[in-house]
Structure 1
Amino acid sequence: MDNWSDYYLALSVYEAGSHAAAGRVLGLSQPTVSRRMRALETHLGGALFERRGDVLTPTALGRSVLDHARNMQDEAAAIERAARSGNERIEGRVTVAASDGVGADWLPGALTPLLQAHPDLSVELKIGFEPANLAGGDADIALRWGQPGPQHSLLARRAAEVGSGMYASECYLERHGAPQTLDDVADHVAVGWAAPIAFQWPRTPIGDELKPRRDVMVATHPSAHLEGLRNGLGLGVTSHRLARVSPGLVRILPDFEVLLDLWLVAHGAVRRSRAQATVLDHIAEALRADREHFRHGELSRYSKASSRPC
């Protein structure tokens, strides 16, 4: 088997979340997608995904295949950009909806190269945790946590896997000590979340939460949550990427990790607008380029610290 499009198909299945959803994005029937995936897995000698509830999770083989497929996709996108360069005028306003975290601290930097390259293009950022109604015209493009939402007339791809862990400040740990096991967490206090989507505390095999005895503070905004942790109020679960830029935070119980999917969603009509399609493709590429930032907390390629001042 030497058809690289089958590897791209595997990536599309992962990003869309199912064979049927990938088929809708690619214009293929669900039986065709399933048949080609079975043939690819037979050729490679193993399953690429396993289903956990409603979520497709890559196997070890699947993760390797997806990494190579992303690299091929990146190269194909680079060829396409080179062919288009200088030949298109992109103009108009595109509205992008995203949560307080990724929309406020990551999107502006990620969009900067695009907006500098197209001076007639503008982007309106709608920041908040309530999901925008794309079909109702609230936004053209959205970044959503956990699930893409209703799929009617929407294009959706699982764009990033965001890793998180348990963190506390150095001063908190000096006063109270660090928990050595998950059971020890109950002897501490927490800086908690009160947002619709949040990283979860560890759970027992039967699903009970293993969390501190009480919340000393509850935050609805990631900045407030991080400040509570940095000021030594308690333990908290936050993303590796946000913890990295918060001086004084220490990861505890490193074997505990929670992963949360970040979805890139757009109305099906997005391809009819050159401006919207350009912004959608740019954000998708930026998320691919920064996958280690989201997964492990590596420095973002769009961070001010990784580039020269304006």
Structure 2
Amino acid sequence: MNWDDLHVLAVLDREGSLAGAARALGVNHATVSRRISMLEQSLGQTLVRRLARSTPLTETGKQVAAIARDMELGAQRIERFSHAAQGTLSGRVRLTAPPVLVSEVIIPALRPLRADHPDLQIVLSANAQIASLDSGQADLAVRMVQPQGRQNIVRRIGAVEFALYATPDIAKLPPQQWRFVAFDETLRHVPQQRWLEEFAADRPLDLLTGDFHSQFAAAKAGLGVALLPRVMAEGCRDLVRVTREQPEARPVWMVIHADLKHAPAVRAVAGMLVEAMRKI
């Protein structure tokens, strides 16, 4: 039996389709299908049902996939153990954070770290989704929602303040004439969006986007008043703050997998994050 084929089955179970598994593995769906067929042949069991529009796992397939996921977790623990045991400021550290913090806080703070530790490679993911540290997607994560789970080291490292910004010509308009740039329906639940909807009252939220960078660009283009992170908008000469009212600041949390808390490379990146957040 080829152990790599078990990994393919676990990914297929997690992704739910050949196409999804192929994307996750970086191969084509024919390769996934061939690997599953090889695993079925070596085990003498049917693991998936090959239907016209889907490939659901059989009951046997589900049981084998569950065992394969446990093997994945074990392999990831070995990788983290090896990383932590290196004892040097070299190798690779995977960091994920919300896009606005990546562009406005983390990237500007990376130059001194790279100068001090030239053998350290940072894999930086600007992702609004919550990456899983247990699945090996990241060694450290920065989040704007309080993390859950006892297996990780969690520390609050700062907060992000928000304020309302617009171009000077829009700022001169009577407030009852303001039109707003806001999040789309996928992010209506976030605290600053709820605050903006209450502040706008019956005034229109007529340009909706899914990220701060688009809102920032829209505000600079004179398309309305936007509620933006102050770390992003405060230094922009094209925008002015239109009111002193603002929502409560959002806490920022750093999460480190417990297996990596003593790894020198991870600790160096964590120290950089703490110092960078202290300066905003």
Instruction: Say whether the 8 Å CA contact 2:106–2:276 is kept in structure 1.
Output: no
Q: Which residue of 2 aligns with 1:210?
A: 199
Tell me the secondary structure at the aligned position of residue 249 of structure 2: strand
* 1:151 shift after superposition: 2.3
Aligned with 2:155: secondary structure? strand
Q: TM-score by structure 2 length?
A: 0.62
CA drift at 1:273: 2.1
User: Which of 150-159 and 212-221 deviates more?
Assistant: 212-221
Which protein, 1 or 2, shows the higher relative CO under an 8 Å CA cutoff with sep ≥ 6?
A: 2
Contact 1:200–1:258 (CA under 8 A) maintained in structure 2: no
Q: CA deviation at 1:201?
A: 5.2
C-alpha spacing 1:237/1:276, structure 2 compared with 1 (3 Å): same
Counterpart check, 1:249 vs 2:248: no
Q: Secondary structure at the match of 2:193?
A: coil
Alpha-carbon separation, structure 2, partners of 1:277 and 1:90: 9
1:256–1:121 Cα change, 3 Å: closer
Displacement of 1:98 in angstroms is: 0.7
Residue type at the aligned position of 2:163: G
Preserved CA contact (<8 Å) 1:192 1:219: yes
* Distance change in 2, residues 1:286/1:256 (3 Å): closer
Larger C-alpha radius of gyration, 1 or 2? 2
- Supply the distance in 2 between the matched residues of 1:271 and 1:119 (Cα, whole angstroms): 21
Provide the residue aligned with 1:222 in structure 2: 212
1:139 equivalent in alignment to 2:129:
no
Counterparts of 2:237 and 2:120, CA distance in 1: 36
Q: 1:269 corresponds to which residue?
A: 259
Q: Return closer, same or farther for 1:253/1:160 CA change in 2, 3 Å cut-off.
A: same
SS in 2 for 1:232: coil
Contact preservation (8 Å) 1:216, 1:233: no
Q: Which of 133, 151, 167 is the equivalent residue of 1:153?
A: 151
> For the Cα contact (< 8 Å) 1:148–1:265, is it kept in 2?
no
Amino acid paired to 1:188: W
Q: Amino acid of the residue matched to residue 249 of structure 2?
A: L
Counterpart residue type for residue 287 of structure 1: M
Aligned equivalents of 1:279, 1:256: Cα separation in 2:
31
Answer whether contact 2:171 2:242 (CA < 8 A) is retained: no
Is the CA contact 2:170–2:178 (under 8 Å) kept in the aligned structure 1? no
Question: Which residue does the alignment assign to 1:284?
Answer: 274
For residues 93-112 of structure 1, the aligned pairs below 5 Å read 93-112=92-111
For 1:198 and 1:257, the matched residues in 2 are separated by 8
Letter in 1 for 2:228: T
Aligned equivalents of 1:283, 1:210: Cα separation in 2: 33
- SS of equivalent residue, structure 2 residue 198: coil
Counterpart secondary structure, 1:149: coil
Q: Would the alpha carbon gap of residues 261 and 235 (structure 1) be closer, same or farther in structure 2, given more than 3 Å must change?
A: same
Specify every segment of 5 or more residues in structure 1 that has no aligned partner in the other structure, as ranges. 1-87, 294-310
Give yes or no for contact 1:94–1:276 (8 Å, CA) kept in 2.
yes
1:231: which partner in 2? 221
154 and 131 in structure 1: CA distance in 2 versus 1, 3 angstrom threshold: same
Provide closer, same or farther for how the CA distance between residues 233 and 133 of structure 1 changes in structure 2, counting only shifts above 3 A.
same
Cα distance 1:150–1:135, how it changes in 2: closer, same or farther (>3 A)? same
**What's the TM-score, normalizing by structure 1?**
0.56
User: What stretches of structure 2 of length at least 5 have no aligned partner?
Assistant: 1-86
Question: How many correspondences in the alignment?
Answer: 190
Report deviation, 1:278: 2.0
Say if 1:256 and 1:276 are closer, same or farther in 2 by CA, change over 3 A: closer
Residue 56 of structure 1 is matched in structure 2 by: none
Task: Give the distance between the partners of 2:238 and 2:231, measured in 1 at CA.
Answer: 14
Q: Deviations over 1:51-96 (max 9, x none)?
A: xxxxxxxxxxxxxxxxxxxxxxxxxxxxxxxxxxxxx841110000
